[in-house]
Chains A and B, each alone.
Chain A
Amino acid sequence: MKKVLLMASLAILPVNSLLAANYTIDPGHTYASFAINHLGFSTMRGKFNKQSGSLSYDPAGKKASVTIEIDAASIDTGHEKRDQHLSSPDFLNAVEHPTITFKSTKVGWSGDKLSTVTGNLTILGVSKAVTLTVSSINCGEHPFNKKQVCGFDASGSIKRSDFGVNYGLPAIGEVLDLQIELEAVKD
């Protein structure tokens, strides 16, 4: 009986392995953006224009991981002088710490859909656990280039002082709302 179970397990394993896939982030369809309170008046929004990374997704095995690397100097709020200031030592210190990274450590599922991604977000060299809520995730064949593509939308929030980004507190908001829209192409 044990041998039968073992054989059955070995037979199933390759099928699950086939469902698991590794993807490379498509920078042209990936947006890491943020919103922060500006002096109590309004919400200021910005995004990063350069990012890279990878995604591993296995809904059958309930396994997934994501790694995103963001070029801190590519911050874009639609105002060149402000972007220079945000890249300076006052905020992201992009020369000393050129990369912002997110590496997942744990994922949550709702049925067969990815629902949360918890990982270490590293800003200014400081890593803190952050949980992103995944509002949608879809995988399938790209209608034009016929490649397998996965995409998801996720959001979360952080306190910037947790990462040592203290300048302008409390006038400039403490809580940063993060939004990541990501597409990745199967390797």
Chain B
Amino acid sequence: MAQILDRPEFQSAVIPFIVAMLVYVGLKKFTAGAWIWALFAAFLISSSLINGATLSPLTGTRKIILLVLGSLILAGLVPYLIRQLKLQRAVAPGLTILALLWVFGTVVARMDLIGIALFLAGGVGLVLWLAWTFDRIANDDSRLHGAGFTLMLGTGLSATAAASALLGQLALSLAAASGGMLLAWVLQGKAVGSGRVSGSISTLPYVLSAALIGLAAIIFARLPWYALIPLAAIPLATSLVPVKPDARFLSALVNSLPGLIIALAVSYWVWQAGSSNSSGY
């Protein structure tokens, strides 16, 4: 059993997929935020297996783990604490920008002025873009999780190809959890449009995870910065899907397809670029 838990494919794919699915099915009847707690449980277990149940030393990667878990708790609680949608809408980008400063502050402080300006412009721009594009699909479960699943998949595969399996596995565990939860949602088979409003705060975990892990893969590892441009386009591409099928299976499929194509294309390109002088090790 211990040997299975040490295997990356179980840590960041099989386990989060199953955990998210089970938690979502178990909590769906009791709370509209079941998906948030499904992602929380899956990521808590996966990150503990991937990183070990330790936060010492508190590296940037471990800060990201803490922040992703914190963002999921906030996403579950804020709709009850803050009723105004305008204020909720500001929470995702605001908190993510603060998170950027906490995770990357020490490294950015060692950069020259041009480096600091590029980080601030690129980092804040990425966060605002992701917050805005995710906000467009916040009230559509199929689009929100289709975009979240494929964005985390692309970020995870790209980060892995860019020489940080740790960051890659963290993103892939979120992708697997979203995928498991999306599958559970599909298997319920009911029509879309139950009238439930997720609220834009629900986008916080996806905005924060994608921005932090993507930027960490650039700054701490070797992901080319321009790889984030097509990845960041995934929520917008998902929002532009022209059809709204009634059946959940079709809805999940068509809303995941654009992101899936982008994610796989970017990952393949990053892998090809990085492996040109490698024979594997």
Chain A interface residues toward B at CB < 8 A: 79-82, 84-85, 87-90, 93, 95-97, 124-126, 161, 163-164, 166-167, 169-171
Using CB atoms, name the residue of chain A closest to B55: A164
A55–B204 CA distance with the chains assembled, in angstroms: 52
A80-B277, A89-B216, A167-B166 known, 15 other contacts, Cβ within 8 Å = A79-B278, A81-B274, A81-B277, A85-B164, A85-B165, A87-B163, A89-B60, A89-B61, A89-B164, A89-B220, A90-B165, A93-B220, A97-B59, A124-B57, A164-B57
Give the distance in Å from the alpha carbon of A166 to the alpha carbon of B59 in the complex. Answer: 12
Kindly name the residue among A82, A93, A126 whose own CB sees the greatest number of chain B CB atoms within 10 A. Answer: A93
Question: Which B residues from 258 to 281 make CB contacts under 8 A with A?
Answer: 274-275, 277-278, 280-281
- Please name all residues of chain A whose beta carbon is closer than 8 Å to the beta carbon of B56 when the two chains form the complex: 126, 164
When chains A and B are docked, how far (Å) is the Cα of A104 from the Cα of B54? 28
> Closest Cβ of chain A: how far from B31's Cβ, in Å?
34
**Which of B54, B107, B164, B278 lies in contact with A88, CB distance below 8 A?**
B164
Residues on the B chain within 8 Å of A87, using CB: 163
Distance between B161 CB and nearest chain A CB, rounded to angstroms: 10
Residue contact B57 to A167, C-beta cutoff 8 Å: no
Instruction: Name the residue of chain A whose CB is nearest to the CB of B52.
Output: A166
Q: Across the interface, which residues of B come within 8 angstroms of A93, CB to CB?
A: 59-61, 220
Q: What are 10 A-B residue pairs whose CB atoms fall within 8 Å in the complex? A: A81-B274, A81-B275, A81-B280, A88-B164, A88-B167, A89-B59, A89-B61, A93-B220, A96-B106, A164-B54
B89 interface residue (CB < 8 Å to A): no
Among B46-60, those with CB < 8 Å from A are 51-52, 54, 56-57, 59-60
A82, B281: Cβ atoms under 8 Å? yes
Query: CA of A81 to CA of B166 in the docked complex: distance in angstroms?
Result: 15
Q: How far is the CA of A87 from the CA of B164 in the complex (A)?
A: 9
Distance between B166 CB and nearest chain A CB, rounded to angstroms: 4
Q: Does chain A have a CB within 8 A of B221?
A: yes
B residues near A170, Cβ cutoff 8 Å: 6
Task: Report the minimal beta-carbon distance from A99 to chain B, rounded to whole angstroms.
Answer: 12
Contacts of B51 in A (CB 8 A): 166-167
| CA A166 to CA B62, docked complex, whole Å | 12
A97–B57 CA distance with the chains assembled, in angstroms? 11
Give the residues in chain B near A125, CB-CB below 8 Å: 57
B219 at interface by CB-CB < 8 Å: yes
Contacts of B59 in A (CB 8 A): 89, 93, 96-97, 124, 164
Smallest CB gap from A97: residue in B: B59
Which residues of chain A have C-beta atoms less than 8 A from B136's C-beta?
A: none
Is B222 in the interface zone, CB < 8 Å from A? Answer: yes
- Chain B residues whose C-beta falls within 8 Å of the C-beta of A161 in the assembled complex: 52
Output the residue of B6, B54, B57 with the most chain A CB within 10 A: B57
The interface residues of chain B lying within 8 Å CB-to-CB of A89 are 59-61, 164, 166-167, 216, 220-221
B158 to chain A minimum Cβ distance, whole angstroms, is 13
Q: Is A95 in contact with B219, judged by CB distance below 8 angstroms?
A: yes
Q: State the CA gap A2–B57 with chains docked (Å).
A: 55
CB pair A166–B54 under 8 Å, yes or no, is yes
Complexed CA–CA distance, A126 and B56 (Å): 9
**Inter-chain contacts of A85 with B (CB < 8 A):** 163-165, 281
Taking CB atoms, residues of chain B closer than 8 Å to A95 are 107, 219-220
- What is the CA–CA distance of A80 and B281 in the complex, to the nearest angstrom? 10
Chain B residue numbers with a CB within 8 Å of A80 are: 277-278
Q: Who on chain A is nearest to B276 by CB? A: A81
Q: Is the CB of B165 within 8 A of A167?
A: yes
A170 CA to B6 CA, complexed, in Å: 8
Q: Which B residues from 155 to 195 make CB contacts under 8 A with A?
A: 163-167
Pairwise interchain contact B164-A90, C-beta atoms closer than 8 A: yes
A88 to chain B, nearest CB (A): 4
Q: Which residues of B contact A84 (CB under 8 A)?
A: 163, 221-222
Query: In whole angstroms, how far apart are the Cα atoms of A84 and B220 in the complex?
Result: 10
B107 partner residues in chain A, CB cutoff 8 A: 95-96
CB within 8 Å for A171 and B274 given contacts A89-B61, A166-B51 = no
| Residue of B whose beta carbon sits closest to that of A98 | B110
Contact of B166 among A90, A163, A171 (CB under 8 A): A90
Residues in chain A near residue B277, CB distance under 8 A: 80-81
